[in-house]
Chains A and B, each alone.
Chain A
């Protein structure tokens, strides 16, 4: 078991430009079931991929892979022709929020938006649009979602992951890789790793992911990686205290970040005295979460939480 994605996930790519092509190729090498792409200016053509299999991905495959993905004008057409049930978005920032809404309108149930730099105002509208639709948006500005050896949607390096019992949820990209790497090195594989993204308006938050992991019978513990800005970690801590039945470890980035400076991520800013690392760490500890004192202690913090 896992959450969000597995071997039944059929993935459509929105935005088959240079970036989209590159990551589609690595996903195919990993063994993800990529079924087609939407890119209006290339509609009606076929995109060919081939190369060496990434054996850290889906097991039992030949040493090489070859795939021909059909390109469509719209998500509706693509979904109908391919039976896609998930979409990954590499559309450039000015058009990415529209791409999210288009996927939702076409009935895609899982939308993973990788694009960084989408205007916040566009995301406010997109999120409003998704409100009455039964859709899960992950991101934007995130590395994506991976269930090791089953399905990789996004830009994370596949080989650091191992199948196992730990759920990973994080606002940061490379810091997630760091956490996963430490888990793997400590013998702790992952059920699913979810990057929820570093933007102030995102589709899926910590609580959504904790809830999914809580219900997943194969997940035995969760590590959540937060950062300064907003109050999502505090809300997660409250939820954990009330509902979480599994051990949780955590880490918060930005202990030394000065107020008023945006630390790379649009969402990572301490403003009006709110959103400090100290507040978040205190909230997590109060909820009984084992908080790693430094980013090199994330793996051992998870071990400690598991007891």
Chain B
């Protein structure tokens, strides 16, 4: 299985996030217990979901859940409807039956769809809600917490559970760390039965809930490994009055580098949740992250790109982005990178910082010159070149006749671009 790789493109960059309803589909397909629910992208679909959900178990309560890639939805509020939460329980069906529940959902969905939800994780600008998940209500006995994540210190996944469900786990970790129970997962064995039993016991579970929790934990840790997640977080994990153990919420994100072997998950990607500039960069295999400042950066190598941002800030500027053109970039890729940077209207100056290794300085220079010829140069440009073919690179820039300021090192370049953009 070795040799030159001809499979699907391996997309670098951030982890792949999916919506709650998609995470629950994946769990359900693996026999992991979740409440029944239906996706709705229109008001009519939301209303139509109510009757089958209520009639399935005879529970008249449904929940309307906004689907965005951000946590804190329950406590989040809509900009357009400051009293309305991103996750709302509909109780109208208890006294009024299915029709009353349908009417309540109609009103809620009408408000939520297309409106902007602000949570602690979205930033003040919030995120538009385009999808709702209508779910059965659950008779909750207790709320627990569960997650599976890589423990870098031991290079293995760790399963963490806590009795403090429904709250921010970071707060539990800070104030009452003894309430988080952990089991390290040996990749050769998976979660052993005794480990799951220890955790279930530690959570204070008994009877059916104890047995169901063990099955749940084993199935979920197996899912984490087989689906290449970099995070599964179930908060809350609930024990029902009937002793069932069920994922009431579900957050999953995946290792983007492993998505070549999970095409069905790769398809779950919702590009409307992502920054358009970051998407465009990903198409050119560039590692790009948008930031709030005014100085655009183009750098080779992640560490150098990060420290270029740092030094811009150190000399009094604010970086507009992180951009790593990578090791073996072509002139075309450099041109694409340059275009992405210049598209941002907040960019008041550009700093190109290259230490050529495999990446040759003349390649960078040609790419920059081509880009400027194509898109023009409305803002100051400072270029610092060092490393392989540095003299050739400088010569290409000099002979291009472009208005480019040369820098002798990183700090010199950062100072010059900050000065020029004042």
Identity of the chain B residue whose Cβ is nearest the Cβ of A230 in the assembled complex:
B152
What number of residue pairs across chains A and B have CB atoms under 8 A from each other?
208
How many residues of A sit at the interface, in one of the four size bands? 35 or more
Asked if A237 CB lies within 8 Å of chain B CBs, one says: no
A268 contact set on B, CB distance < 8 A: 302-303, 306
| A95 contact from B2, B312, B388, Cβ within 8 A | B2
Q: A15-B2, A94-B5, A256-B309 are in contact. Are A227 and B257 (CB under 8 A)?
A: no
Fill in one digit per residue for A114-125: 1 if any B CB lies within 8 Å of its CB, else 0: 001111111111
Shortest CB-to-CB span from A60 to chain B, Å, is 24
Q: Are B187 and A124 in contact (CB under 8 A)?
A: yes
Q: Is B181 an interface residue (CB 8 A)?
A: no
Contact residues in A for B411 (Cβ distance below 8 Å): 294, 296
Pairwise interchain contact A174-B187, C-beta atoms closer than 8 A = no
Residues B13 and A262 in contact, CB atoms below 8 Å apart: yes
Is B225 located at the chain interface by the 8 A CB criterion?
Answer: yes
CB-CB contacts of B1-21 with A at 8 A, as 1s and 0s?
111110100101111000000
Instruction: Provide the residues of chain B in CB contact with A227, threshold 8 Å.
Output: 302-303, 306
- Residue B314 interfacial (CB < 8 Å): yes
Does B150 reach chain A (CB closer than 8 Å)? yes
Chain B 316-365 interface residues, beta-carbon cutoff 8 Å to A? 319, 322, 324, 327-328, 355-358
Near A by CB (< 8 A), chain B positions 87-145 give none
A5 to chain B, nearest CB (A): 18
Q: Which of A234-290 contact B (CB under 8 A)?
A: 235, 251, 253-258, 261-268, 272-273, 277
- Complex: how many Å from CA A254 to CA B310? 6
- Taking CB atoms, residues of chain B closer than 8 Å to A123 are 155
Point out the residue from B2, B152, B302, B314 that lies within 8 Å of A91, measured CB to CB.
B2
Choose from A160, A175, A198, A267 the contact partner of B307 (Cβ within 8 Å).
Answer: A175
The answer, yes or no, to whether B372 is at the interface (CB within 8 Å) is no
Could you tell me the distance between the alpha carbons of A289 and B157 in the complex, rounded to whole angstroms? Answer: 32
Residue from A23, A93, A267, A296 having most chain B Cβ neighbours under 10 A: A296
Residues of A within 8 A of B186 (CB): 128
Across the two chains, which residue of chain A brings its CB closest to B173?
A272
CB distance from A237 to the nearest CB of B (A): 15
Query: CB of A134 within 8 A of chain B?
Result: no
Bound-complex Cα distance A229 to B322 (A): 16
Given A15-B2, A41-B3, A172-B301, A267 contacting B152 (CB threshold 8 A): yes
| Residue contact B301 to A255, C-beta cutoff 8 Å | no
Query: Residue A206 at the B interface, CB < 8 A?
Result: no
Residues A157 and B4 in contact, CB atoms below 8 Å apart: no
**In contact, A257 and B306 (Cβ under 8 angstroms):** yes
Smallest CB gap from A277: residue in B: B310
Q: Shortest distance in angstroms between B4's beta carbon and chain A's nearest beta carbon?
A: 4
Instruction: Check B3 against A39 for contact (C-beta < 8 Å).
Output: yes
For residue B188, CB closer than 8 A to chain A, the reply is yes
Of the candidates A93, A170, A181, A251, which one forms a contact with B5 in the assembled complex, judged by CB atoms under 8 Å apart? Answer: A93
Q: Which of A201-243 contact B (CB under 8 A)?
A: 201, 225, 227-228, 230-232, 235
Residue of A nearest to B259 (CB): A119
CB proximity of A287 to chain B, nearest CB, Å? 18
Q: A116 vs B301: C-alpha distance in the bound complex, in angstroms?
A: 12
Residues of B within 8 A of A116 (CB): 12, 327
Which A residues are CB-close (under 8 A) to B302? 172-173, 198, 227, 263-265, 268
Find out whether the CB atom of B409 lies under 8 angstroms from the CB atom of A94.
no
Query: Per-residue 0/1 for A148-170: is the Cβ within 8 Å of any B Cβ (1 yes, 0 no)?
Result: 00000001110010000000001
Question: Least Cβ distance of A222 to chain B in Å?
Answer: 17
Provide the bound-state CA to CA distance between A198 and B325, in Å: 16
Q: Contacts A121-B258, A157-B387 given: A38-B355 contact, CB under 8 Å?
A: no
Complex Cα spacing A122 to B5, Å: 17
Within 8 A of B (CB), among A77-115: 91-95, 98-99
| CA of A232 to CA of B287, assembled, Å | 24
In-complex Cβ contact of A172 among B304, B319, B358 (8 A): B304
- The answer to whether A125 touches B187 (Cβ under 8 A) is yes
Q: Does the CB pair A94–B355 fall under 8 Å?
A: no
Q: Assess the B304–A127 pair: CB atoms within 8 A.
A: no
Interface string of A173-210 (1 = CB under 8 A from B): 11111100100000000000000001011000000000
Pairwise interchain contact B305-A155, C-beta atoms closer than 8 A: no
Q: Which of B2, B299, B322, B355 contacts A14 (CB 8 A)?
A: B2
Task: Assess the A295–B311 pair: CB atoms within 8 A.
Answer: yes
- Give Cα distance in the complex from A23 to B357, angstroms: 11
Give B149-188 as 1s and 0s: 1 = Cβ < 8 Å from A's Cβ atoms.
0101101110000000000011001000000000000111
Write out the residue numbers on chain A whose beta carbons fall within 8 Å of the beta carbon of B228.
119-121
Complex Cα–Cα for A225 and B313 (A): 19
- Say yes or no for B261: interface residue by CB 8 A criterion: yes
Is the CB of B201 closer than 8 A to any CB of chain A?
no
Known A17-B4, A118-B257, A174-B301: A264·B307 in contact at CB below 8 Å: no
Assess whether A44 is interfacial by the CB under 8 Å rule: no
> Can you list 19 A-B pairs with a CB-CB distance of less than 8 A?
A19-B328, A38-B2, A92-B5, A93-B10, A117-B10, A117-B257, A121-B225, A128-B186, A155-B357, A173-B301, A174-B300, A174-B357, A175-B303, A175-B307, A253-B303, A255-B310, A264-B306, A272-B173, A296-B410
Besides A94-B261, A261-B289, A295-B311, 7 other A-B contacts (C-beta < 8 A): A94-B5, A155-B357, A175-B301, A176-B303, A254-B307, A262-B15, A295-B308
- A-B pairs with the 6 shortest C-beta distances? A172-B303, A264-B302, A174-B301, A92-B5, A175-B303, A119-B258
Chain A residues engaging chain B, CB cutoff 8 angstroms = 14-15, 17-19, 22-23, 38-41, 91-95, 98-99, 116-125, 127-128, 143, 155-157, 160, 170-178, 181, 198, 200-201, 225, 227-228, 230-232, 235, 251, 253-258, 261-268, 272-273, 277, 293-296
